[in-house]
Amino acid sequence: MGFDIHILGTSSARPTGSRQVSGSLVVCDDGVAIVDAGEGFQSRFAVQRRRMKKFGDTQIKVGRVDVLCLTHGHLDHTWGVLPWLHTLSLDKREKPLLIIGPTSSQVLDSLLSNSKLPEDISNSDLIIQWRSWHQLGGTSKQLGFPVRWILGDVENDRWIELMPDSNSVVELEKMPQPKGWSENKIKALATNHTVPSCGWHFSSKGKRGKFDRLRAAELKLTEAQRAGLAKGENQTLESGEILSASEFRGPDSGVISVVLSGDTSEMSKGITSMDNCDVLVHESTFLDEWSEHAKNYLHSTASGAARTALSSGTKHLVLTHFGARIKGAEEMLSQADQELEGSQVTLSAASDGDRIHVSDSGKISHHYWDEQGWSS
C-alpha cells in the first residue's frame, strides 16, 4: 500500500473560513499514525473517515491508530489531543497508544533529576501541557487503556518515558516504535522553531517482489519446492535442472519515505540531512514579501520550503500551513516553483481533506478533495 497522507488542516495559528489548523494522518500497512492534533481534530478525523467510507477505496479505522506524533507544543497543533483521548476512553478503547513529542535537553535533565523545570521554559513546552492533561484525566488509569508518554531531545537522540500514574520518569535507550509495527519505521527529525520542535519521517523497509505462483504451478512443483523457492532457496529437479529462486520473484520494491515538517524555519538540519525523500509536506506560512516575519518567528516561506526540498533529495513537495494573509495557492506555488526551476522536484499545495499517496513502487499522486470526492 505504501503511504497515504491525509491533510486534515492547512491553516497556521487559527482556523479560517476555508481552512482548519494542523492535523494529519499517515496510513500504512502497519497501522495509522496521527501527526499533530489541533483544535477540532476529532471532528475532522470523523469527517475524513466518512469520506473514505463513501468515496475512498479503503477505510480508516480508529482502532488502527497506534501512535500520535507531535511536532511541538503550540496549541494549533495540540489543542485537540485531550478531547480525542477522552473520546477513545468513552468508546472503550483497549489497544495501547504511543504519544511522542519533542522537548529540550534542559527539561529532560530536570525530569531525570526530579528537580524543578528550567525557569526559562516556554509556556508551550509539551511537558507543561502533558502534566495538565494528566491532571485532567489523561493517564492510562483514568482513560482505561495504556498510553505511553514519550518526550525526546531530538537533536541529541535522548528519550524518556513519563509514568504519570506512578509519578516517575524512565530514561530510554532509543525512541520506541509503535507496538506491532514491522514493515515501517518512524523517526524524529530536528527542526528549528521558537519552541522545541521536530518533523516526522516515515519510511518503509521495502518489500520482496511477488512470487510467481503460476510458473510454479505450470512446472508442477511440490509444496516443499515452492516453499523453498519462496524463501529464496534454489531447487534441483529430478532431471538435474536447477531452478533459480531469483527467477521466481518479481522486482523488489525500494524503500519509500515521507516527511511532515511541522513548524520550522527553512533548511532545518534534520530535514536537509536526508538525501532521499519521496514526499516532503512542508510548512509555508508566509510569502516572500513577509520573509522577515518568517525569520523572526522561525517559520518558512513557500520559497524556503522549496529550497529545503532541493537540499533533502525530495521528489515531491507539498506546501501547507498557510498564514491568514494567503488567500489562494497560486502566488505561493509560483514562488516555490521559481526556486524549483530546472530541478526534478514536483510541487503541489494542500487543501483540507486532500490525500497524498505514495505507492510501494514509489509512484506519487496528490488527490484533491471536493464535495464529490477526490480528483487527481
In order of their start, the domains of the chain are 3-206+253-369 (3.60.15.10), 213-248 (no CATH)
Q: What is the pLDDT of residue 139?
A: 97
**Over 90: is that where the pLDDT of 231 sits?**
no
**Over 90: is that where the pLDDT of 209 sits?**
no
| Helix ranges (DSSP H) in 113-262 | 126-135, 140-143, 213-218, 223-230
Q: Which of 20, 71, 66 is nearest to 42 (CA)?
A: 20
**Over 80: is that where the pLDDT of 208 sits?**
no
- Cβ neighbors of 224 (< 8 A, separation 6 or more) are none
Residue at grid coordinates 520573509:
291
**Over 90: is that where the pLDDT of 207 sits?**
no
Q: What is the pLDDT of residue 192?
A: 98
What is the distance in angstroms between the CA of the first residue and the CA of the last residue of the chain?
Answer: 18
**Over 70: is that where the pLDDT of 90 sits?**
yes
**Over 80: is that where the pLDDT of 36 sits?**
yes
**Over 70: is that where the pLDDT of 253 sits?**
no
Work out the average pLDDT over 243-266. Answer: 89
Q: Which amino acid is at 35?
A: V
Q: What's the pLDDT tens digit per position in 119-159?
A: 999 999 999 999 999 999 999 999 999 999 999 999 999 99
Distance set, CA 151 to CA 102, 119, 223, 273, 359 (Å): 6, 19, 49, 22, 31
Q: How far apart are CA 351 and CA 122, in angstroms?
A: 31
Q: How far apart are CA 134 and CA 199, in angstroms?
A: 25
Q: What's the pLDDT tens digit per position in 313-341?
A: 999 999 999 998 888 899 999 999 999 99
Q: What's the pLDDT tens digit per position in 38-74?
A: 999 999 999 999 999 999 988 999 999 999 999 999 9
Print burial letters for 204-235: b (CB count within 10 Å at least 16), e (below 16): beebeeebeeeebeeeebeeebbebbbeeeeb
Q: What's the pLDDT tens digit per position in 164-197?
A: 999 999 999 999 999 999 999 999 999 999 999 9
Write down the mean pLDDT value for the chain.
Answer: 96
Q: How far apart are CA 4 and CA 279, in angstroms?
A: 11
